[in-house]
Amino acid sequence: MTKPTEIFEKVPSFEPGDPAAQTDPQAFETVVRSRRSTRVYTQDAIPETVMRRCLELTLLAPNSSNLQPWEFHWIRDVDKKAELARLCLRQPAATTAQELVVCVARLDTWDRNRKLMIKAMQDSGQEVPESALAYYKKLVPLAYGQGPFSVFGPFKKLIFWMLALRKPMPRGPAGKADMRVWAHKSTALGCQNLMLSLRAFGYDSCPMEGMDPVRVRKLLKLPRTAEICMVISAGKRAENGIYGQQVRFDPSLFLFEV
């Protein structure tokens, strides 16, 4: 009988995937180094085709168990865009932006997406390892299911702690707080994809946490299980769009070799 945890312990026998593409390190470094949080934009529009491609690339970001606990709301309505800029405290990064995207972490879509993963594997026409199916059918509900009002959280914490006395063990997610961290981590990875994609196409962006998340959620008519991760503005960088030189502290404060 296949254990749900077998997918962690053994290399599954999937058919070979796509080979690694040839890349241009210098071009990527240029994108990363030239990405700056842009506070003022010109009136130059971003072509719709570019925005759509950048949003598609956003969804290629890595995420937890491919459960994709995110949504990206591209605000097209003029009135909603103006109201969103107000909810972003009318900062120039919002009021001068050509485009605004609300990045949302979803704590509640994991089960829907789990079922989509199972269907995708079953419909792939390839032989799917039993360990992969067992992971999504058995282990994912145990790991991410929290019960009504997260009542399972304290019990899961205790169980994880007891199991971890004997062997390495994930300690969560156990409860809503853990689910929030889980969903926001994956959503933030998608946000980075979006900002780097915009820069690669010659446009700029600014990730904004200075906003009223409760009112933004109401503006988009989202449920309470949807949390605003950040709002990303986009456009063509104005001459005064960058507030000073980029400041980074001594790498020794952050980079370690052990």
Q: What is the pLDDT of residues 163-219, one digit of tens each?
A: 899 999 888 899 999 999 999 999 999 999 999 999 999 999 999 999 999 999 999
Residue 161 resides in a domain: yes
Residue 50 resides in a domain: yes
pLDDT band at 4 (very low <50, low <70, confident <90, very high): low
pLDDT surpassing 80 at residue 3: no
* Of the candidates 225, 193, 231, the residue with the CA atom closest to the CA atom of residue 31: 193
Structure tokens at 113: 């997406």
> Can you tell me the mean pLDDT for 21-47?
97
Distance in angstroms (rounded) separating the CA atoms of residues 167 and 221: 44
Confidence at residue 232, expressed as pLDDT on a 0 to 100 scale: 99
Torsion sign, CA atoms 178, 181, 185, 191 = positive
Residue 124 resides in a domain: yes
The CATH number assigned to the domain holding 52 equals 3.40.109.10
pLDDT surpassing 70 at residue 2: no
Confidence at residue 129, expressed as pLDDT on a 0 to 100 scale: 92
Confidence at residue 8, expressed as pLDDT on a 0 to 100 scale: 65
> Can you tell me the mean pLDDT for 126-153?
92
Residue 215 resides in a domain: yes
Residue 1 resides in a domain: no
pLDDT surpassing 70 at residue 50: yes
Distance in angstroms (rounded) separating the CA atoms of residues 135 and 9: 12
Q: Is 80 exposed, middle or buried (0-12, 13-18, 19+ CB in 10 A)?
A: middle
Residue 102 resides in a domain: yes
Alpha helices in the chain (DSSP H): 6-9, 25-34, 48-58, 78-87, 92-95, 110-122, 130-134, 140-144, 153-163, 176-200, 213-219
> Can you tell me the mean pLDDT for 17-30?
93
pLDDT surpassing 70 at residue 49: yes
Confidence at residue 171, expressed as pLDDT on a 0 to 100 scale: 86
**Helices 176-200, 48-58: crossing angle, 10 deg rounding:** 140
Q: Is 127 exposed, middle or buried (0-12, 13-18, 19+ CB in 10 A)?
A: exposed
Confidence at residue 155, expressed as pLDDT on a 0 to 100 scale: 86
CB contact at 8 A, 164 and 194: no
**Helices 25-34, 176-200: crossing angle, 10 deg rounding:** 110
Which strands form 99-106's sheet, in the order they lie side by side? 70-74, 99-106, 226-235, 204-208
CB contact at 8 A, 191 and 103: yes
Domain range enclosing 219: 37-242
Look over the chain and give the mean of its residue pLDDT values, rounded to a whole number.
94
Give the pLDDT confidence of 71-88 residue by residue, as tens digits: 999 999 999 999 999 999
Residue 13 resides in a domain: no
Give the pLDDT confidence of 97-111 residue by residue, as tens digits: 999 999 999 999 999
Number of domains in the chain: 1
pLDDT surpassing 70 at residue 131: yes
Residue 24 resides in a domain: no
Task: State which H helix or E strand residue 102 sits in.
Answer: strand 99-106
pLDDT band at 95 (very low <50, low <70, confident <90, very high): very high
pLDDT band at 57 (very low <50, low <70, confident <90, very high): very high
